[in-house]
Structure 1
Amino acid sequence: MISLILTIKRLFGAIFKNSKDPVFQSLVTTLVFILLSGTLFYRGIEGWSWLDSLYFAVISLMPTSVNTGLFPSMTISKVFTMIYLVVGMGVMIMLLAMIGKAVLNFDEKELERLKQKSKD
């Protein structure tokens, strides 16, 4: 449980640190618009619920192999999904890479702080 709390602290620390970076802000804004467009599209065309539409929009952009049980059934939805994934995956991976880099930098600073403390 302590490990989970420390990991969440590192994650939020990294996000807070990155929140001042204009590139990070741009990526977050772009990702929000991409997710919004995906949610609205799947809601309108496929007729899925708001939650199912948002869930599919988010999970399909994550680099995992989660089976959502949802899949586009119409030709226009399949074409949209292909374009959506090409554009969205690039933005999502860049954002995750920036957060990962900030977490590693956060860990290095914590380690340096602990070393300083032990020397004193």
Structure 2
Amino acid sequence: MVSFILTLKRMLTGLWHSFKDKRFRNLFLTTLLMLLSGTLFYHEVEHFSYLDALYFSVMTLTTVGAGDLAPETAFGKIFTMIYTLAGIGIVFGVIFFVGRGIHFSKNPREEKDSAKKNSKMAKASEDQPDKPKPRSKE
């Protein structure tokens, strides 16, 4: 139980830390919209209850797929294929940012150093003109 509470605390800290990044907020909002659209679709087309529709949407986008629910209509199956392909990247982006937030919340100095290093690299690449690539002899 203690381990669960500590893990939950770390995850919530990472989530809080991630919300400082505008890209994360956009991804998070997009994920919520994806879940809402999936929930409404499965409720209307497949006649799932709202809870079952949300459950199926989450299971689909996280690729868990328990197998207890499945679309039965052809339209529902086609929607699910497109929904899965479109949503998986978005959900994994959110998971990536939360993991990054957990890592950097433990090491805030490392985050500043990483940002400084990336800034210096970007400035250095802007200062150097593009060099033409030598042609290969054939």
Q: TM-score, normalised by structure 1?
A: 0.84
Q: CA deviation at 1:68?
A: 3.9
Higher helix share: 1
Moved more, 40-49 or 97-106: 97-106
Matches of 2:27 and 2:42, distance apart in 1? 22
Paired residue for 1:81? Answer: 80
Give the fraction of aligned pairs with identical amino acids, expressed as a percent: 37
Paired residue for 1:106? Answer: 105
Moved more, 5-14 or 39-48: 5-14
The 5 Å alignment of 1:39-118 reads 39-64=39-64, 66-108=65-107
State the secondary structure of the residue aligned to 2:85.
helix
Q: CA deviation at 1:46?
A: 0.5
Matches of 2:63 and 2:101, distance apart in 1? 19
Paired residue for 1:28? Answer: 28
Q: CA deviation at 1:7?
A: 1.0
Q: Which runs of 4+ in 1 moved over 3 A?
A: none
Matches of 2:53 and 2:4, distance apart in 1? 29
Q: CA deviation at 1:5?
A: 1.5
Flag the structure with larger Rg: 2
Q: CA deviation at 1:104?
A: 1.9
Residue by residue, what CA displacement relative to the aligned partner does 1:18-60 show, whole Å, maximum 9, x if unpaired? 1121001000110111111100000000011010001001111
Residue by residue, what CA displacement relative to the aligned partner does 1:56-77 show, whole Å, maximum 9, x if unpaired? 011111143x414100111110
Q: CA deviation at 1:8?
A: 1.1
Structure 1 contact 10–107 (Cα < 8 Å) conserved: no
Q: CA deviation at 1:105?
A: 2.1
Matches of 1:68 and 1:53, distance apart in 2? 13
Aligned amino acid, residue 57 of structure 1: S
Q: CA deviation at 1:106?
A: 2.4
